[in-house]
């Protein structure tokens, strides 16, 4: 039975080599703060993992990489660092973000507002690109932080993080980027990007769930979210380390970076083929020009068909897609990120995301195309809205 997983911006299948490291390193369970051999063995495992993580994003020795449970935790640490500073007397009470952010940014920012901080959300253009001039214009002498995701899980739009970082530095504002969709899909060099903070999750690049990282540039503000013993990471994130998770994440990052040129080329070719064929279906449109989009993603709307209906039908064929962020998909609401492109709610509701990975094959794509085409015909025959909606214009790449 065919089974095709195309929800790889939500989570990914663990690489077999990563699984091997994950299982083997379970045996290295000793306390890293002791002097006996079992502890020394564990320290060696973690030191090797840290070396891979630092190399993987080109962090310097003066920087910190905080081991977290997820991008969500990393994002919360950064935002609440500046909330803590404000609550302790700082006059910097303003944070700038964008309408394209994940819930793990929007939710803590909403909390910051309840605590008295000001938040400005900058818009995107019709291609999902953040309006950098609006960021520049929004900065005041009270601005503490700018936070912008590197790439959208929903539209695939890639932001010019380096340019935004330059503006932040010119104005004396700290800058954070949510990099959940970046590692394994884009080159990530924190020195080149110029970020002060950068967060990620291993499960987005074929690593294990429950483990992530937060890059913190040397000398920038940092307040722990979890307090406890200072024996782990100098007290910057208390609690026993998830040793085999750290080792597996480091291996996943190493593999992702080594394979990046080949994988992105192969995945991009399959993605382009899928998109070209989907756009041959009448009244269908995709989003964000390919040059500005993650190479693994097609975000596409089928006129007159609810995205959820498409998902349920595809599920009967063991094809797994998405209608938006996995962290909000149960809400059954239209994609706010797609609406931010200027689309009407009914079009945003009709948007489906096809996210490929290095495990996706040509046979997978052909199977998906066959099922999608027949499903579109069937669902439009029973659609109450198809004939009433305006015709779609095919997106030009």
- Write down the CATH number for the domain with range 4-11+259-381: 3.90.1150.10
Using CA atoms, how far apart are residues 136 and 112, in angstroms rounded to an integer?
21
Thinking of the domain 16-255, which architecture would CATH place it in? 3-Layer(aba) Sandwich (3.40)
In the three-class reduction of DSSP (H, G, I as helix; E, B as strand; rest coil), residue 65 is classed as strand
Q: So what's the pLDDT on residue 326?
A: 47
Q: Which of 327, 328, 329, 397 is catalytic?
A: 327
Q: What are the percentages of helix, strand and coil residues in the chain, rounded to 5?
A: 40, 15, 40
- For 171-185, the pLDDT digits (tens) are 999 999 999 999 999
Read off the DSSP letter of residue 50: H
For the chain, which residues make up each domain, given as ranges? 4-11+259-381, 16-255
Picking from 183, 200, 358, 193, the residue whose alpha carbon sits closest to that of residue 264 is 358
Give the chain's residues under pLDDT 70.
1, 324-348, 386-397
Active site residue 112: no
pTM: 0.92
16-255 and 4-11+259-381 share a CATH fold: no
Give the C-alpha separation, 360 to 272, whole Å.
Answer: 13
One-character DSSP codes across 127-193: TS-B-HHHHHHH--TTEEEEE--SB-TTT-BBP-HHHHHHHHHHTT-EEEEE-TTTBTTB---HHHH
């Amino acid at each position: 039975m065919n089974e095709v997983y195309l929800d790889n911006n939500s989570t990914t299948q663990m690489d077999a080599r990563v699984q091997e490291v994950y299982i083997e390193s379970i045996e290295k369970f000793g306390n890293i703060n002791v002097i006996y051999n079992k502890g020394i063995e564990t320290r060696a495992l973690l030191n090797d993992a840290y070396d891979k993580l630092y190399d993987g994003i080109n962090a310097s020795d003066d920087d910190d990489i905080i081991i977290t449970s997820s991008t969500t935790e990393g994002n919360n640490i950064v935002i609440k660092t500046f909330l803590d500073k404000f609550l302790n007397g700082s006059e910097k009470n303003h944070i700038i973000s964008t309408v394209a952010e994940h819930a793990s940014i929007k939710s803590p920012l909403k909390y910051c507002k309840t605590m008295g901080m000001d938040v400005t959300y900058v818009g995107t253009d019709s291609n999902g690109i953040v309006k950098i001039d609006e960021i520049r214009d929004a900065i005041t002498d009270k601005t503490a932080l700018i936070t912008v995701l590197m790439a959208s899980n929903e539209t695939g739009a890639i932001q010019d993080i380096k340019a935004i970082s330059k503006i932040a530095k010119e104005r004396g504002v700290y800058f954070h980027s949510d990099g959940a969709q970046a590692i394994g899909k884009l080159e990530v060099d924190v020195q080149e990007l110029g970020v002060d903070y950068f967060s990620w999750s291993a499960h987005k690049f074929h690593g294990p769930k429950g483990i992530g990282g937060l890059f913190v540039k040397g000398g920038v503000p940092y307040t722990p979210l979890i307090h406890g013993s200072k024996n782990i990471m100098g007290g910057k994130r208390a609690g026993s380390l998830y040793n085999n998770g750290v080792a597996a994440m480091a291996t996943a990052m190493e593999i992702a970076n080594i394979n990046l040129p080949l994988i992105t080329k192969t995945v991009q070719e399959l993605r382009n083929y899928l998109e070209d064929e989907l756009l041959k279906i009448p009244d269908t449109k995709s989003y964000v020009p390919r040059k500005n989009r993650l190479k693994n993603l097609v975000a596409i709307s089928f006129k007159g068909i609810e995205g959820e209906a498409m998902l349920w039908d595809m599920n009967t064929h063991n094809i797994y897609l998405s209608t938006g962020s996995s962290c909000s998909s149960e809400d059954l609401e239209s994609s706010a990120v797609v609406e931010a492109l200027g689309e009407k709610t009914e079009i945003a509701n009709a948007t489906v995301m096809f996210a490929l990975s290095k495990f996706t094959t040509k046979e997978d794509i052909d199977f998906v195309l066959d099922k999608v085409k027949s499903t579109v015909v069937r669902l439009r025959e029973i659609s109450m809205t198809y004939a009433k909606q305006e015709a779609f214009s095919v997106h030009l790449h």
